[in-house]
Amino acid sequence: MDAIRLRGARKLEGTIRVSGAKNAALPILCATLLSDGESLLRNVPGLQDIETTAALLGVLGRDSTVSIPEVRVHPATRPPNPEAPYDLVRKMRASVLVLGPLVARYGRAKVSLPGGCAIGARPVDQHLRGLEALGARIQVEHGFVVAEAPRLRGAEVVFDIQTVTGTENLMMAAALAKGRTTLVNCAREPEVEELGRVLNKMGARVEGAGTSTIHIQGADELEPFDHAIIADRIEAGTFMAAVGAAGGNVLLEHAPLDDLEPVVVKLRKAGLTIDREGDHVRVTRLGVLRPCDVTTAPHPGFPTDMQAQLMALLCVASGRGVVTETIFENRFMHVPELIRMGARIETRNNTAIIEGVPRLSGASVMATDLRASASLVIAGLVADGETTVRRVYHLDRGYEAIEKKLGGAGADIERIHLEGEPP
């Protein structure tokens, strides 16, 4: 099994290129199912989740060629198989994003229920209720959701909570529904806005993506598309937190500064200098690292996907920081591992109180989910001695060649194979 080995206590200096956004690429790949023609996605990150989605499209009857940074989804040449099996869905919860496109395009979808995951229960009730409002008959049987509708009809859907993939699933379904759909209390994440741009390229009329109310005029047929994916705000934010923790001066190429506002506000408070340089962003931390308080919230609040990385930074700030997680009920799995590295963290329910220490100490630690793994890598950058982050497959789901990117900016980091452990 692969692991990441780091030797800490070096500043980061140099340039890091930010890849395309995973959480924009995944729904857009699923949107290719809405048309039978050949679609081309550019600026796609080289990630395990992209491979898993391409494999899923293949099972559903759509072949693709993944040649990073491009993915070409070929025209439909065989009859569709609108059934997403448990084996793929359990690897990646975002597989549920095929539900809307399949039922809209083929009148039937059978998608394994994703179940819970390390960060929480993560139900999909909002996706299902929304599709029902559009006229789908939904049944849950033998661990699968079966959705059927000869043709979806536009309707008003009011979400009880803001859900990113729920909003995206409904947008894709509504794009092929008869008539107009209004989605209320939508997630406002930049990735939702990006999907709206793609659906408009395909011929649907989407207004308001990126705000809490989205109107979609469905089309009878949709066109294939050619689209370059936006840059990954969470990857960029992760590198900002890494520079904050380790100190130094790094140019983040193509970092999407506007999408990162809530993160940048906190990092500046912590003592980082973050400035736009043309299409890029320069991040420096030369002086003392100060603590700050953060509460996660749906966009434009502080993203839950940056919570673990910010906590790693607070572990070495000069004072007490407080982190409150409000989106997922179990997203503090990195805390015991950070404590093993010498961090002083106390948790009470969904709040963590972090007393900064001057330096962490290298240890062998275990990644539990994607963003938790990134926080352990950041901790390793400011730890004395050697840190080994195990279960790197979590990192590979969401960070393209993180060891090469950080290594290129001066970090002492490498990917190793641990003998005696399964591959």
User: Shortest Cβ distance from residue 299 to ligand EPU (Å)?
Assistant: 7
Residue 196 touching ligand EPU (CB under 6 A): no
Q: Nearer to ligand EPU by C-beta: 331 or 405? A: 331
User: Shortest Cβ distance from residue 282 to ligand EPU (Å)?
Assistant: 25
What is the C-alpha separation between 40 and 77, in angstroms, rounded? 17
User: Shortest Cβ distance from residue 168 to ligand EPU (Å)?
Assistant: 7
Residue from 124, 242, 317, 345 touching ligand EPU (CB under 6 A): that is: 124
Q: Greatest CA separation found in the chain? A: 63
Residue 286 touching ligand EPU (CB under 6 A): no
Helix (H, G, I), strand (E, B), or coil: what is residue 1?
coil
The string of DSSP letters for 107-168 reads SEEEEE----BTTB----HHHHHHHHHTT-EEEEETTEEEEE-SS-B--EEE-SS--HHHHH
Could you tell me if 40 and 70 are in contact, meaning their C-beta atoms sit under 8 angstroms apart? Answer: yes
What is the C-alpha separation between 405 and 193, in angstroms, rounded? 28
Residue from 69, 120, 407, 408 touching ligand EPU (CB under 6 A): that is: 120
Site for ligand EPU in 294-353 (CB under 6 A): 304-305, 327-328
Q: Nearer to ligand EPU by C-beta: 23 or 284? A: 23
Residue 376 touching ligand EPU (CB under 6 A): no
Could you tell me if 361 and 388 are in contact, meaning their C-beta atoms sit under 8 angstroms apart? Answer: no
Residue 47 touching ligand EPU (CB under 6 A): no
Residue 164 touching ligand EPU (CB under 6 A): yes
Residue 187 touching ligand EPU (CB under 6 A): yes
Number of residues in contact with ligand EPU under rule CB under 6 A: 26
Residue 23 touching ligand EPU (CB under 6 A): yes
Q: Nearer to ligand EPU by C-beta: 58 or 123? A: 123
How is the beta sheet containing 180-184 ordered, strand by strand?
A: 156-158, 180-184, 213-217, 205-207
Q: Which stretch binds ligand EPU (CB under 6 A): 4-12, 57-65, 160-168, 214-222?
A: 160-168
Residue 313 token pair: 């930074």
Q: How far apart, in Å, are the Cα atoms of 127 and each of 21, 70, 331?
A: 22, 29, 22
Query: 162: which strand partners?
Result: none
Contacts with 278 (C-beta within 8 Å, 6 or more apart), sequence order: none
φ, ψ of residue 22 in degrees (nearest 5): -55, -50
Residue 107 touching ligand EPU (CB under 6 A): no
User: Shortest Cβ distance from residue 341 to ligand EPU (Å)?
Assistant: 21
Whose CA is closest to 92, among 115, 71, 108, 109? 115
Could you tell me if 363 and 340 are in contact, meaning their C-beta atoms sit under 8 angstroms apart? Answer: yes
Q: Nearer to ligand EPU by C-beta: 122 or 282? A: 122
Helix (H, G, I), strand (E, B), or coil: what is residue 83?
strand
Contacts with 258 (C-beta within 8 Å, 6 or more apart), sequence order: none
Q: Nearer to ligand EPU by C-beta: 298 or 321? A: 298
Q: Nearer to ligand EPU by C-beta: 49 or 285? A: 49
Whether 186 is catalytic: no
Q: Which of 30, 117, 186, 315 is catalytic?
A: 117
Q: Which stretch binds ligand EPU (CB under 6 A): 40-48, 123-131, 215-223, 385-393?
A: 123-131
Residue 368 touching ligand EPU (CB under 6 A): no
Query: 139: which strand partners?
Result: 146
Residue 122 touching ligand EPU (CB under 6 A): yes
Residue 126 touching ligand EPU (CB under 6 A): yes
What is the C-alpha separation between 344 and 364, in angstroms, rounded? 17
Site for ligand EPU in 221-260 (CB under 6 A): none
- Cβ-based burial of 422 (10 A; exposed 0-12, middle 13-18, buried ≥19): exposed
φ, ψ of residue 212 in degrees (nearest 5): -80, -15
Q: Nearer to ligand EPU by C-beta: 204 or 370? A: 370
Q: Which stretch binds ligand EPU (CB under 6 A): 73-81, 121-129, 207-215, 378-386?
A: 121-129
Q: Give the binding site for ligand EPU (CB under 6 A).
A: 23, 26, 93-94, 120-127, 161, 163-166, 187, 191, 304-305, 327-328, 370-371, 398
The set of catalytic residues is 117
